[in-house]
Amino acid sequence: MAKIKFPPTTSIYVIKPFDPWRSRLCTCPEKYSFSPYTGCGHGCLYCYITSYIPNAFSPREKKNLYGRLVRELRKIKQESLLSISNSSDPYQPMEKRRRLMRKILPLLKPFRIQIVTKSDLVAEDSDVLRDLNSAVSITVTTLDRSVAKKMEPQAPPPEKRISALKTLSDSDIPVSARIDPVIPYINEDVEELVDQLSEAGVRHITSSTYKMRWDSLKRIREEFPEEGEKLKELYLRGERTGNTYYLEREIRIRILKNIRDMALKHGMSFACCREGLNLNTGVCDGSHLIGVKK
């Protein structure tokens, strides 16, 4: 993949190489990452962008976005993979008013596009997405409306997300789903969810377990006090990488293998994200679906 020549600080660019640190846990293919927004209004309890984006839950539109994007896209080789977005949801609440994606998407025709969102709003762009080399991934962590409302307070309810997956799939846009993160005691029971995702036309599932950081645990404990207390004990028995705590490896294998078995039973591929486990039957981000028509 042709690389943009990035100066020491990349903050002036809207398109960035994904995972510039080349984490050993990341199994994604080489790709670029882009979001029209800095920060995200979905306000998910488990969100990790708070660790590197100031005022992460006060989203703002990127300045001079369109012009910068046009200039930067000229430097990228055609057919490169562009992921929108790996942090700061492109279809977050502000997008209802701003509709930046609708304006931007036609610029992306020469590339392979992976949309990652938690909103059904993406389905309103299916007419544009259909003409692109694209795939869409929607995160659905639970079917329980009240749990979803607490975990992802400003994101659309699960049934709307599933209905959007169906609309996209019916429009011949390949779709995957992220059951991500799975948090013990809170959203571990996903059997019915996997059934419904399959019925909606989902062809791939990406899943991972919650990685505990102190700020996200604090938010979880405010909404789920009992479960939050148990989570703390459980994670302190697990593995630690920097400021991030993982569940014990055996627990992660049990949870993810269970979801993998459900996905395979429905003929879907499966992958986990940043787990260091050898469970994948598809590309972890679902980008292998791009361009694969029914």
Contacting residues toward ligand SF4, per CB under 6 A: 40, 42-44, 47, 49, 87-89, 118, 152
Give least dist CB 128 to ligand SF4, A.
Answer: 22
Give least dist CB 8 to ligand SF4, A.
Answer: 26
Which is it for strands 81-84 and 32-34: parallel, antiparallel or unpaired? parallel
Identity of the residue, 47 or 179, whose beta carbon is nearer to ligand SF4 in the bound complex:
47
Q: With 0-12 CB in 10 A as exposed, 13-18 as middle and 19+ as buried, what is 21?
A: exposed
Contacts by 102-106, CB closer than 8 A, 24 or more apart: 102/128, 103/66, 104/36, 104/65, 104/66, 104/69, 105/129, 105/132
Give the integer Cα–Cα distance in Å for 67 and 70.
5
Identity of the residue, 41 or 110, whose beta carbon is nearer to ligand SF4 in the bound complex:
41
Give least dist CB 71 to ligand SF4, A.
Answer: 26
Give the integer Cα–Cα distance in Å for 191 and 224.
22
Identity of the residue, 92 or 167, whose beta carbon is nearer to ligand SF4 in the bound complex:
92
Q: Which amino acid is it at 205?
A: I
Give least dist CB 194 to ligand SF4, A.
Answer: 21
Q: What is the dihedral of CA 171, 281, 268, 125, to 10 degrees?
A: -20
Identity of the residue, 205 or 262, whose beta carbon is nearer to ligand SF4 in the bound complex:
205
With CA atoms as reference, report the closest residue to 262 among 161, 193, 201, 169: 193
Identity of the residue, 4 or 53, whose beta carbon is nearer to ligand SF4 in the bound complex:
53
Identity of the residue, 18 or 73, whose beta carbon is nearer to ligand SF4 in the bound complex:
18
Query: Per DSSP, what are the bridge partners of residue 60?
Result: 38
Give least dist CB 247 to ligand SF4, A.
Answer: 19
Give the integer Cα–Cα distance in Å for 147 and 291.
34
Give least dist CB 117 to ligand SF4, A.
Answer: 8
Give least dist CB 6 to ligand SF4, A.
Answer: 23
Give least dist CB 230 to ligand SF4, A.
Answer: 22
Within 10 angstroms of residue 92's Cβ, the number of other Cβ atoms is 25
DSSP letter assigned to residue 279: -
Identity of the residue, 88 or 187, whose beta carbon is nearer to ligand SF4 in the bound complex:
88
Give the integer Cα–Cα distance in Å for 9 and 67.
20
Query: Per DSSP, what are the bridge partners of residue 112?
Result: 81, 133
Identity of the residue, 43 or 110, whose beta carbon is nearer to ligand SF4 in the bound complex:
43
